């Protein structure tokens, strides 16, 4: 006998939700052929029923309250694409789990803040939470970590995980425009969240990094321990000078387990201009995974948008239709370790930019500060004079972050600085 249809309850009818509706309607025969059962939408939920959504929703029951949708007896999988780490999204997801439903979500904030509790609740009920669409849009990075690389000990997770930030930085670089002007351009194009700081402050990307780190290193999600620094302080001067030295600036997420604990940082970094990350343009995302057996895997693709995100949602739905029952974070939630948070201490080269008084011995004083901190210089350039000032750019050999902080603090004591120095980590990729 043919398997019973898998019935979806869809909460959220924005861009992604309508994308899911379109795939279910357009690809019904293909999905049934690949899963051995049909996938249907039984009921939907959104705040405004009268809104024109350019999709035929007439066959679906309507619930104004997503919690009521989650509790319906005629759905098997609760699909949550509303957003938000608390409020209706959290309440409805908890209700779905309590009612014995599987959950598919595109909500990285929900899991970054509540992932451990939700995973334990779901697994206690024998249910699954799938969230491929929550990280890097259409790139199947969750599946890569939980399945394709399951036999590897992951050494490092790294990537550009916010397309808006990558658009802003690459637009500044290609057009020679300052941050404020490109920020406003991104706003006009609709690229920014209602709260822009979620994008440009690194919060959205930090949510994603914390989820990947949990899977990669078998730890509980620890978003609060992610070192966050947005792109608002990245200047067009640094973009130009970094390019002159063979680098590009990216908002880069890096997670790695060290002897001191779990390092997680989402900060502006320099990467080699000719590397895959350096070549990444526009709103595209890229995730780099490094395993002890496989080596380095680079995954590139669209990080947002109706089609890519809905595609990732449906990949999870199809896995459930096929009977796949992988724990939320790749292993039972109760076995996930509580991570020891470690501030970044792994040595790396650094880019240092400063404006000095143009007088004899100024540069020697800076070099002495670096030498006293145990930091050696790899490259150094001096650029055109502006009155009595000169811009100096230094690329160091590998140095511990603490040593860089100590050295730049000592710069202020030399009496040759015109303004505060800029220090940006160079990530080796």
Q: What is the pLDDT of residues 190-202, one digit of tens each?
A: 888 889 999 999 9
Mean residue pLDDT of the chain comes to 94
Mean pLDDT of 230-247: 94
105, burial (CB in 10 Å: exposed 0-12, middle 13-18, buried 19+): buried
In tens, the pLDDT along 382-419 reads 887 666 788 999 999 999 999 999 999 999 899 999 88
Pairing state between β 295-302 and 261-272: unpaired
**How is the beta sheet containing 377-386 ordered, strand by strand?**
377-386, 389-396, 350-357, 422-425
SS3 (DSSP) at 127: coil
Res. 258 pLDDT band, cuts 50 70 90: very high
Q: What token pair was written down for 413?
A: 């004591």
Q: Are the CB atoms for 422 and 371 separated by under 8 Å?
A: no
pLDDT of residue 122: 98
Task: Name the active-site residue from 208, 250, 359, 398.
Answer: 208
pLDDT of 426 > 70? The answer is yes
Q: Which of 158-162, 174-178, 257-261, 301-305 has the lowest mean pLDDT?
A: 301-305
pLDDT of residue 235: 94
pLDDT of residue 400: 93
In order, the DSSP letters of 69-138 are HHH-TT-SEEEE-S--SSHHHHHHHHHHHHTT-EEEE--HHHHHHHHHHHHHHHHHTT--EE-GGGSSTT
Torsion of Cα atoms, 337 then 105 then 197 then 47, to 10°: -140
The larger pLDDT score, comparing residue 214 to residue 419, is at 214
In tens, the pLDDT along 299-324 reads 999 988 899 999 999 999 999 999 99
In tens, the pLDDT along 34-78 reads 999 999 999 999 988 888 888 999 999 999 999 999 999 999 999
Closest CA to 46 of 1, 10, 20: 10
Q: What token pair was written down for 117?
A: 């509790």
Can 125 be counted among the known catalytic residues? no
pLDDT of residue 305: 87
Q: Which of 11-20, 284-293, 309-318, 381-390 has the lowest mean pLDDT?
A: 381-390
pLDDT of 1 > 60? The answer is no
Closest CA to 168 of 355, 93, 160: 160
Closest CA to 10 of 121, 174, 133, 113: 133
The larger pLDDT score, comparing residue 180 to residue 383, is at 180
In tens, the pLDDT along 81-107 reads 998 898 999 999 999 999 999 999 999
């Amino acid at each position: 006998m043919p398997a019973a249809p898998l019935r979806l309850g869809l909460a959220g009818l924005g861009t992604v939700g309508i994308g899911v509706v379109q795939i279910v309607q357009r690809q019904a025969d293909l999905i049934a052929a690949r899963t051995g059962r049909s996938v249907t939408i039984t009921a939907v939920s959104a705040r405004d029923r009268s809104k024109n959504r350019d999709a035929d929703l007439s066959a679906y029951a309507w619930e104004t309250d997503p919690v009521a949708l989650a509790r319906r007896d005629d759905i098997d999988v609760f699909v949550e694409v509303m957003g938000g780490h608390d409020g209706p999204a959290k309440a409805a997801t908890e209700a779905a789990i309590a009612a014995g439903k599987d959950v598919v979500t595109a909500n990285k904030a929900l899991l970054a803040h509540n992932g451990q509790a939700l995973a334990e609740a779901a697994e206690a009920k024998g249910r699954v939470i799938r969230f491929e669409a929550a990280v890097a849009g259409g790139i199947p990075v969750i599946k890569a970590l939980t399945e394709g690389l399951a036999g590897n000990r992951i050494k490092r997770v790294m990537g550009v995980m916010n397309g808006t930030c990558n658009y802003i930085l690459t637009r500044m670089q290609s057009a020679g425009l300052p941050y404020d002007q490109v920020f406003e351009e991104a706003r006009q194009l609709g690229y920014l969240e209602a709260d822009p700081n979620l994008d440009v402050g690194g919060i959205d990307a930090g949510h994603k990094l914390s989820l990947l780190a949990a899977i990669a290193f078998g730890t509980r999600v620890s978003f609060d321990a992610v070192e966050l620094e947005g792109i608002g302080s990245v200047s067009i001067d640094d973009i130009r000078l970094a390019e002159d030295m063979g680098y590009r600036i990216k908002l880069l997420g890096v997670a790695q387990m060290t002897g001191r604990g779990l390092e997680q940082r989402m900060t502006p970094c320099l990467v080699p201009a000719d590397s895959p990350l350096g070549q990444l343009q526009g709103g595209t995302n890229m995730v780099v995974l490094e395993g002890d057996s496989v080596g380095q895997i680079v995954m590139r693709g669209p990080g947002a948008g109706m089609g890519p995100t809905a595609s990732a949602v449906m990949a999870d739905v199809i896995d459930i239709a096929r009977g796949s029952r992988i724990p939320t974070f790749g292993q039972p939630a109760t076995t996930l370790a509580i991570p020891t948070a470690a501030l970044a201490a792994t040595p790396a080269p650094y880019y240092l930019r400063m404006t000095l008084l143009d007088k004899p011995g100024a540069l020697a004083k800076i070099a002495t500060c670096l030498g006293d901190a145990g930091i050696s210089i790899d490259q150094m350039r001096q650029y055109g004079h502006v009155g009595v000032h000169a811009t100096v750019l230094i690329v160091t050999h590998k140095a511990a972050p603490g040593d860089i902080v100590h050295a730049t603090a000592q710069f202020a004591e030399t009496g040759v600085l015109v303004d505060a120095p800029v220090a940006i980590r160079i990530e080796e990729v």
